[in-house]
Structure 1
Amino acid sequence: MSEAGGNLRASLVAEMNRLALAADAARRSRAARERRGLEELPVKVVGSRPACASSLEHSRVSAVEPAPRPLASDRVLRGLTITGREDEEKRRRLPEVSAKDGKPPRPNADVASSPAVIGRGAPLMSRARALAQGYQPAVVKVVSYAHGAARASATANYVDREDAILETQDGVELKGRAAINAEIAEWAKDFEPRKESQDVASVRFQVMGLKDTPLDRQTLEKALAAAFAGHRYAYRIDALNDGAIEARAVVAFAGTLGESEAVTRERFYVTERRVGAADEFAERIFAPKSEARMKARVGEATGIGQHRIVLEPGAPGNGPTSVVDRLTRLQEHGAAASDSGALLDNPSAIQAESRAWRRDLRSFKPRDTMHLIVSAKAGIDVDAFRTAVRGFVHEQFAAHKFMFGVHTDKADAGHVHAHVIVAVRDAEGVKIHPGPQDFRHWRETFAEHAQMQGLKIIATSAAERASSQSYGPKDKAIVDAADHPRPGREARDRAYASDPANETLIDNARRRIEIARTNPIRMPASERQLAVANDSASTWRQLAQEEPQDVVASALAQRVQFSRAAGQAIVTLVNQALITQTTRSSAMPITAAQMQSDLKLLNEAVNKVGAALPTDTRSAFFERTGRYLEKLAARVDMQREFEGKSTQAALAPVAEQAARIARVEQREAIGAEAVERRTEATVNPTAAGTRDIDASRAVVPEAEKTAADEKARVHAALEAQRALVANATIPLVPTLSVDQRLEALRRHQAKTLDKMAAERETRREAEIEIEQ
């Protein structure tokens, strides 16, 4: 190894040793500060129950490392978190559910081999028995995701209140904006390095030398259209003091060029360059490739030199809200126009335009933090609830950074809840992507910790109780903005609420909120959902039979039975709709008559089920089934039309034969008329003898009779042709068979119709055999 290489290696080793010593010194310093903090501040005991052997066994005392930045408002909680996984000790602490009056439950097939607990994997009967005894369902749901430290800090500061102290994964209490922001700043070091997409920006667009004349304004508009071809944009043209003009535009950065197979996607990008001798400030500019493409298109469309084109972008924004914001600012100084020619001069027009842009934005935003809500009904022991939430988050998100706080301000509304903010990436960089199975597992984990604190909470699904889905935070935000305009945004919110285009959106949000509050019976709409309803109905019916005096069990048994009946009707309609889609491609297609008969039976079944449902569920049931019945009725009409066309196609040779006969008869009629005219011409009116005159005239009536017969045959042939074209399935009347050709045509049609009828009968008999 060369001397230079040896020196480089020695310097690297020395630097690594220095960094290791510095890290060790920092760790020792943090440990010393932590000891001093524990000596000076008393430990805050969270929860009203003393820690028992099992909870201490699962505590994080040995694994907790002090926070790297102890702040004046921070307090370290020791021995109060539970992170142990499921084990026999924890199972023994979970309460058993017995039957009413203290009697042990009857043996059941699904619980024979399971411990009598209500933990993870508990059978459906155990969960149902718990609900009947007053347990409440566990509620764990994701409210939102956020990108960046600013959004995460805003959420955390919202959670921070006088009665809600944020607690971190290290057991540190955070009080005050400074402590919270400092903690989030530490989290941000591991946030997603990828930035959110640049979706839209305001742009100053000018072509040097253009003046405020109609012709130059047209030229500027043409240049705008060329520069932003394939992109959504809106613009306003302003006249400057010196007589020049410029355009102020809002441009969507994602665009699509070309058509069909030659489609090309592009995206503009904005970057910064330092300006000044000492890089005094940054100037936003389009990325060189983006600017070059825009200027080249302008030059090609208008012949304007690229040196005359000025493009100055503003700060790019992300998402539909940025579109609304920039379009609003664009029209504040005068009416603007969109690329489609729509006038943007009021908030309603801007909202409509932003919705039109939404699909074309191709927006992306990384997820750095997840905001969870864990809630329970009011009246619960808040300290026990807080301890249960603490155990849940420490177990479920042990490898993630998190903080949580409990709010009790909604107790009057019927619930208390905890806000949990979790860093999406764990220590190894693995991100959380929760799905239905994850939410079920989270509910089960929280329910176990709640039961260990003596709380009657059980993990169950809405389908097992025939409960309707709850509304989301977006629904609440829509209704709140419409009913209670936000300070500083009153005009925009009022315009949003009064815009007819938003009427359906707002009404749907109100409807979902109302459904969640009234909680009508849930109606399965798929085979999988119906299978859950069947299992639930069987379980609740069995429980109601075991405990006939249990009002809750009886009510839920009836509710789930209604859900099952409604779901059976809906799934039958869905399956019938799928069957009719394959009618034409099937080897043995269903006829329109059969479909009509099935539709009649389905209508009768729907009416029978609907009449038995409670009033608050009946209307929703008829609304949903009505949509499927309308689709089926439309498909019956389509099938009937298709069969008509198919029959016409099968009888097409008959119609063609009728057309040929008509043409032949017409030719013969023309020939007969010609013979008649020639015959009349041969009669010699100057013949001397009377006998010769009579002989000549005797030929004329025969020719006239022949011509008349040919005309009658032509008329009959044309009538047969018209009848077959109109509806070839109607047999030709015998009176049209005035000659052998038309009689053969009538027999051909009858034979074809008999063959088609025999094929239909064969299909019907085969279907009857299949059903039997």
Structure 2
Amino acid sequence: MAPVRRERKRLPDSGTRISGLAGGGQKAVVKVVSFASGSARVGALASYVTKEREGGVATEDQDGLALDSAAVVAKLARWSQGYSERQPSKDVATVRFEVAGRAGLDVETVQTGFGRAFEGYRFALRVERAGEGGFEVTAVVAAAGDPALSVAGAKAQPRFKFDKAFEASLAAGIARGLGAEVQAQVLGTGHGREGALHRLSLLVAGGAALDERGRELSTVDDVRAAADAWRKGLGSRQARDAMHFVVSAKAGTDPTAFRSTARELLASEFAGHEYLFAVHNDRGHLHAHAVILVKGEDGQRIRPDISTFAAWRSRYAEIAESHGIRMVATRRSDTASAPAFSQGEAALTDRGVAPDHIRRKVVAKRGDAIHVPVREEGRACAVQAYQAWKALETTSEAPQARSAAGEQLTRLATAVSVSHAAAARADGSTDMQEKGAAMARARSEYLTAEFKRANDVLNRALPLLEGADKVEATERANAYLASLAKQVEAVEAVERGQVAERAHGIRIREEREAIDANGEARSLKATAIEAGRPRGAETSPETASEPEAAMLEEAAARAERVAGRERPEAEAMAREERALRANPNTRVQIDPNLPHAGEELREEHELLIDRLEAQKLTYTRVHRR
């Protein structure tokens, strides 16, 4: 009988989520660590999950039956009979070419010919001479065309199959392009990023290679960077027989209630799928690991997406609550939390070989760093969370809730303000004056509100503390208020940076106008001189008369006067720009030669200075109090 599938639960609304967290509820943490295919990989995964460790490990299956090691082995053997026979995709290949039969052929021509043959694909090749007029070319090429290398609107490149037909077709195409005899042979293939890394490493072991953009690959770092760049466009496909599923809970959670929660969650969400699971407590907190067959009794396969994880977290929290564990299904944006990292990314980081972007990702998550959203929808979610926490802080009378709100408001205010600053810097298509002012106002409002909020929290919290706790809280609060004051000052500095940029724009315009006026004056003067020459028999009837020459001279004089006025204005704006960039905190000395636009900019800068000084006074009063 086909399993009954539950309707997916939605996450609670933001107010409910925030209220639950503020009340001491722990986050519902659900992960899919990896997928495995084939007997060896699934067996290795099951071995890790069921391995005996500190605190003991009890394994059970979807029917609630306890499994010893022999039962686990028997279960895996039965599972293996239904594993997919599909092989991992061949994503990269090493191909060796022999080129001969054309006198005068040089290395550069060979490289160009192969580049045309692999156009639209990721590749790297090494060219070596082989006798008189001959070459041996070793190339590593991706099977799938990479959209990043294709012309916009162009038809997608076909996927190479790395078979005999591929060898013959590729050799024939290169031979036509070079006018030489070419033979090709596939030496080996690889799967995924690791396969690309292995093949590229073998290639450069024989000498430096060039990639599709003409960049040299010769070191380990070069090869790793290339493999990372190839990864997204490889189109890797691999059978998924089993999924490694993990739920966890904070230290101090009741182990019996947690095991019951994990058991009920698995039965609820993976009805019709066989699995085994065990609870570990060897890392200071509880976590349940499950190995779940991806294909269910009804033939349906598990294909988790974002909405799936949201439903799993929601169901996990609901079941945990029923077993007395306070838990909340949340979004990352509720607490400005960094994205999760994978097991592979953690391993690379721990070995010290991870690329910078992966290392930063792992360090940020482990250190609970504030996540700064980069897209508008992310900023909107962060703002929504800020508003929910602010509403809770305003209405709640529970000290624990107010304290939690204070911490999260700080994180979210920082995330939003930094995100707005980054968006303002990146948005070069919008008028700087209008967009910059809007972004600056938003940042200032968040930071100023946060400054006032922190001061209010301090005033409410201090009377509740005594002795050393009160001293420590006062010191920390003052340090935080000082950092906020510096943030406010930094925001103003950003605004003044925009003033300097606008000063630069005005200077460029004034310089251009001065140059144009000078050119016009020279042109008019030359025309006036030509018009004033004596007229001979060969003079055209259309030639200007002497009165017209006088008019041209007068126009030239006017143009020279304009140029004479524009030059000092351009020089004044250059001085203004240098002063703003050198010391944006100081009022700039008045320059009588500033153009009208420069004077308006000066007035705006004065207002910013006044505002900054007022905020410094506010900080001083709060700090003293």
Query: Which one-letter code corresponds to 1:423 in the other structure?
Result: L
Distance 1:656 1:220, change over 3 A: closer
**Partner of 2:392 in structure 1?**
539
TM-score by length of 1: 0.55
**Larger CA deviation: 177-186 vs 119-128:** 119-128
- Give the secondary-structure state (helix, strand or coil) at the position aligned to 1:322: helix
- Give the secondary-structure state (helix, strand or coil) at the position aligned to 1:253: strand
The reply to whether residue 509 of structure 1 matches residue 362 of structure 2 is yes
Distance 1:716 1:260, change over 3 A: same
Distance 1:341 1:444, change over 3 A: closer
Residue pair 2:371, 2:415 contacting (<8 A) in 1 also: no
- Give the secondary-structure state (helix, strand or coil) at the position aligned to 1:472: coil
**Partner of 1:750 in structure 2?**
none
Query: Which one-letter code corresponds to 1:167 in the other structure?
Result: E
- Give the secondary-structure state (helix, strand or coil) at the position aligned to 1:515: coil
**Partner of 2:49 in structure 1?**
159
Q: Counterparts in 2 of 1:153-232, with a 5 A limit?
A: 153-162=43-52, 163-172=56-65, 173=67, 175=69, 178-179=73-74, 181-188=76-83, 191=84, 195-207=87-99, 228=118, 230-232=120-122
Residue pair 2:338, 2:364 contacting (<8 A) in 1 also: no
The reply to whether residue 395 of structure 1 matches residue 268 of structure 2 is yes
Query: Which one-letter code corresponds to 1:313 in the other structure?
Result: L
Residue pair 1:85, 1:395 contacting (<8 A) in 2 also: yes
Deviation at 1:129, TM superposition (A): 6.3
**Partner of 1:385 in structure 2?**
258
Q: Distance in 2 between matches of 1:617 and 1:402?
A: 52
Q: Distance in 1 between matches of 2:172 and 2:11?
A: 65
Q: Distance in 2 between matches of 1:468 and 1:447?
A: 19
Q: Distance in 2 between matches of 1:323 and 1:263?
A: 25
Residue pair 1:541, 1:557 contacting (<8 A) in 2 also: no
Q: Distance in 2 between matches of 1:542 and 1:503?
A: 43
**Partner of 1:5 in structure 2?**
none
Distance 1:728 1:576, change over 3 A: same
Aligned residues: 525
Residue pair 1:406, 1:418 contacting (<8 A) in 2 also: yes
**Partner of 1:468 in structure 2?**
337
TM-score by length of 2: 0.65
Residue pair 2:101, 2:180 contacting (<8 A) in 1 also: no
Return 5+ residue gaps in structure 1 as ranges.
1-62, 66-82, 87-118, 271-285, 483-495, 584-590, 675-705, 731-752, 755-772
1:253-306 superposed Cα distances (whole Å, 9 cap, x missing partner): 234798566666133213xxxxxxxxxxxxxxx242x22321221220233346
- Quote the RMSD (CA, aligned, Å): 5.5
1:373-427 superposed Cα distances (whole Å, 9 cap, x missing partner): 100122333233222101101111113333322112112xxx1101123334444
Q: Distance in 2 between matches of 1:135 and 1:634?
A: 44
- Bigger relative contact order, structure 1 or 2 (CA pairs below 8 A, ≥6 apart): 2
Q: Distance in 1 between matches of 2:292 and 2:451?
A: 48
Residue pair 1:595, 1:636 contacting (<8 A) in 2 also: no
Q: Distance in 2 between matches of 1:351 and 1:603?
A: 39
1:179-231 superposed Cα distances (whole Å, 9 cap, x missing partner): 3531441442xx4x765432112233335789xx9969888767755664554
**Partner of 1:338 in structure 2?**
210
Q: Distance in 2 between matches of 1:522 and 1:618?
A: 25
Aligned partner (choices 170, 189, 199) of residue 294 of structure 1: 170
| Overall identity of the aligned pairs, in % | 26
Q: Distance in 1 between matches of 2:222 and 2:570?
A: 56
Query: Which one-letter code corresponds to 1:312 in the other structure?
Result: V
The reply to whether residue 145 of structure 1 matches residue 18 of structure 2 is no
Query: Which one-letter code corresponds to 1:318 in the other structure?
Result: H
Q: Counterparts in 2 of 1:30-109, with a 5 A limit?
A: none
Distance 1:410 1:582, change over 3 A: same
Query: Which one-letter code corresponds to 1:169 in the other structure?
Result: Q
- Give the secondary-structure state (helix, strand or coil) at the position aligned to 2:158: strand
Deviation at 1:634, TM superposition (A): 5.7
**Partner of 1:266 in structure 2?**
158
**Partner of 2:323 in structure 1?**
453
Residue pair 1:168, 1:404 contacting (<8 A) in 2 also: yes
Deviation at 1:535, TM superposition (A): 2.2
Return 5+ residue gaps in structure 2 as ranges.
455-476, 537-546, 572-594, 597-625
Q: Distance in 2 between matches of 1:670 and 1:578?
A: 58
1:214-249 superposed Cα distances (whole Å, 9 cap, x missing partner): 9698887677556645544344567999x9975444
Residue pair 1:232, 1:357 contacting (<8 A) in 2 also: yes
Aligned partner (choices 261, 286, 290) of residue 420 of structure 1: 290
1:457-495 superposed Cα distances (whole Å, 9 cap, x missing partner): 32232568636236423542232121xxxxxxxxxxxxx
